Amino acid sequence: MEAAPLASLSLTHVDYNPADRISYLCAWLALVPQALCVIYATLIWSNREIEIFLMFAGQMACEALNWVLKRYIKEERPREMHGKGYGMPSSHAQFVTFFSVTLALFLLFRHVPHPTDTHTPLSLVGRFLLSLVAVACAGAVAGSRIYLSYHTPKQVIVGCFAGAGFALAWFGFTTYLRRAGWIEWVLETYAMRMLRVRDLVIQEDLVDSGWARWEDRRKRQSFQVQGKKSR
């Protein structure tokens, strides 16, 4: 009996030129969407923030849109990558553009962190610079798809426009949900309260989350130790 032929799990399979260092770097950049999904899952599990839930939901909806567009347009990839699925628009470019534009919109228009006794949050200028870094990183990932010949420049550009357009639409939709009170209503449901989902990141830095409580705990422990020594 002949063994069945093995299949390749192409989730992280990237073709690159081993003699080209830039090609090697681009191969790593191709893994950014998978890394972002891990970051999403980690933050959702550890912070339980509704804003991160919303952003991840938008990210998955954007991926679904890309799946539909590719099968509607049915444009092949460049000649070097024929047979590896449709290429219009680039899913990598659309994914990272949605992420970077959504993050920038959040940092510049929705995130209003308040300073505390233990932490001074980023200023608007700092958040703007962070947004530029996110957009630049997205540009590097998008450009890597052209360098590796997975997509034509047109496919990448269309992917970027699709990701940015969907990010703007999703941000507007979630803004409506907040202003209409739907987010507050969802947070009061039994399921959300059981999962301990909250909405603090609008006014609180993730860096500061729990830090004030930790500092208070350390001070109490220090006072207790000093009290025991003074006896």
* Per-residue confidence in pLDDT tens, the chain, 231 aa: 566 776 666 667 788 888 889 888 988 999 999 999 999 999 889 888 899 999 999 999 999 999 999 999 888 888 877 667 788 899 999 999 999 999 999 999 988 877 766 667 778 888 899 999 999 999 999 999 988 888 899 999 999 999 999 999 999 999 999 999 999 999 999 998 998 988 888 887 767 766 767 777 787 877 776 766 666
Cβ-based neighbours of 68, under 8 Å, separated by 6 or more: none
The reported pLDDT for the residue numbered 124 is 83
In a domain, 4, yes or no: no
Per the CB < 8 A criterion, the answer to whether 142 and 128 are in contact is no
The reported pLDDT for the residue numbered 166 is 96
Q: Note down the domain range covering 155.
A: 14-230
Of 41, 20, 43, 140, the C-alpha closest to 92 is 140
Of 222, 75, 49, the C-alpha closest to 156 is 75
The reported pLDDT for the residue numbered 48 is 87
Q: Which tokens belong to 146?
A: 């052209």
In a domain, 154, yes or no: yes
- Buried b or exposed e, range 39-69, using 16+ CB within 10 angstroms: ebeebbeebbbbbbbbbbebbeebbebbeeb
In a domain, 19, yes or no: yes
In a domain, 8, yes or no: no
* Number of domains forming the structure of the chain: 1
In a domain, 143, yes or no: yes
In a domain, 9, yes or no: no
CA 176-177-182 angle, to 5 degrees, is 145
| Interatomic CA distance for residues 219 and 225, integer angstroms | 10
Looking up tokens 């070097």 gives 80
In a domain, 1, yes or no: no
In a domain, 2, yes or no: no
The reported pLDDT for the residue numbered 176 is 95
2 DSSP assignment = P
| Interatomic CA distance for residues 164 and 156, integer angstroms | 12
C-alpha 114: how far from chain center: 23
